[in-house]
Amino acid sequence: MSERFKALVVDKSENDFSVSIKNLSIDDLPAGDVLIKTAYSSINYKDGLASIPEGKIIKSYPFVPGIDLAGVVVSSQDPRFQEGDKVIATSYEIGVSHYGGYSEYARIPGDWIVPLPENLSLKEAMAYGTAGFTAALSIQRLEENGLTPEKGKVLVTGATGGVGSLAVAMLAKRGYQVVASTGKETAHEYLHKLGAAEIISREEVYNGKIRSLDKQLWAGAVDPVGGEYLAAVLSKIQYNGAVAVSGLTAGGNVPTTVFPFILRGISLLGIDSVYCPMEVRKPLWNRMADDLKPAGLLETISHEIGLEELSDTLPLILKGQAKGRFIVNL
């Protein structure tokens, strides 16, 4: 195949850093069993980091970022995939050390690919992307730990972000009373549309002080924010409840004590989307096309942009200004 195609390429040398659209050929793509014509990608926090020189996420340059992609198989040496199959590829080394989704073509190892579930379009798959998968995995882990709508309210921190928006919408779809915490006063209408029953400010979660044990407010929490917020959330979870932690938007240090764990039986559930095994990943994508799929996934949560708009849009996610999910139309 001699066709040339467009991709967003980041490059770094001693004195220079660039993010630009370049023409590549299939031979420029890394090794892999499955060649995919990318239909859509998306923007996640890691992609924001990939677009800045001090992001510490890209292993070597030049590089094509984009940790998510969905598209159609062009050719495959993996018997599990045939020409014309619609597929999703997220996580593993994609967009970190293996050329990613900001490219009209991608070549991906078959072990990293999930068949597109029935009842999910390629565009919807990228409205979810890694953020949606992480939100879904958080909810699944909380429910495995005993969370049900009858147990009480569920908090979502960073509620207008990618993980947060999808957690709010999926929890509401499952009948939970969702408390959405946000730093964006202008986003209340958006959060109500997603299904939030109550909206609180970031300061109502963490106001600069953390008690070892505080008033028991929530049966569970989805927390992509981390840092002091996570410590404060742990102190306010009801007896036997749990927090699913996936991120570190507010920082990696969590100044907590053992008391929520040993006096209230609280569980801290770690959420990793990157190496989540296929036996969990594939059925969860099927659930995301079914009982977890919220109304308004495309209309309310996602904004579509083109490859040309990516370099201006990527910084928004690092400033905490992004609302919902950006889908990149290739």
Ligand X SMILES: NC(=O)c1ccc[n+]([C@@H]2O[C@H](COP(=O)([O-])OP(=O)(O)OC[C@H]3O[C@@H](n4cnc5c(N)ncnc54)[C@H](OP(=O)(O)O)[C@@H]3O)[C@@H](O)[C@H]2O)c1
Is position 163 an interface residue for ligand X (rule: CB under 6 A)?
yes
Of the pair 46, 174, the CB lying nearest ligand X is at 46
Is position 55 an interface residue for ligand X (rule: CB under 6 A)?
no
> Closest distance between ligand X and the C-beta of residue 113, in Å?
18
Residue type, 113: I
List binders of ligand X among 102-161 (CB under 6 A): 130-131, 134, 158-161
Is position 225 an interface residue for ligand X (rule: CB under 6 A)?
yes
Of the pair 131, 266, the CB lying nearest ligand X is at 131
Q: Which of 224, 241, 260, 294 binds ligand X (CB under 6 A)?
A: 224
Of the pair 83, 312, the CB lying nearest ligand X is at 312
The backbone torsions φ and ψ at residue 73, rounded to the nearest 5 degrees and listed phi first, read -70, 130
List binders of ligand X among 277-316 (CB under 6 A): none
Is position 272 an interface residue for ligand X (rule: CB under 6 A)?
yes
Q: Which of 76, 246, 267, 313 binds ligand X (CB under 6 A)?
A: 246
Residues facing residue 222 across a β-bridge: 156, 244
Contact code string over 14-53 relative to ligand X, x by CB under 6 A: ------------------------------xxx-------
Is position 326 an interface residue for ligand X (rule: CB under 6 A)?
no
> Closest distance between ligand X and the C-beta of residue 201, in Å?
9
Q: Which of 41, 103, 182, 238 binds ligand X (CB under 6 A)?
A: 182
The footprint of ligand X (CB under 6 A) covers: 44-46, 130-131, 134, 158-164, 182-184, 202, 224-225, 229, 246-250, 271-274, 317, 320, 322
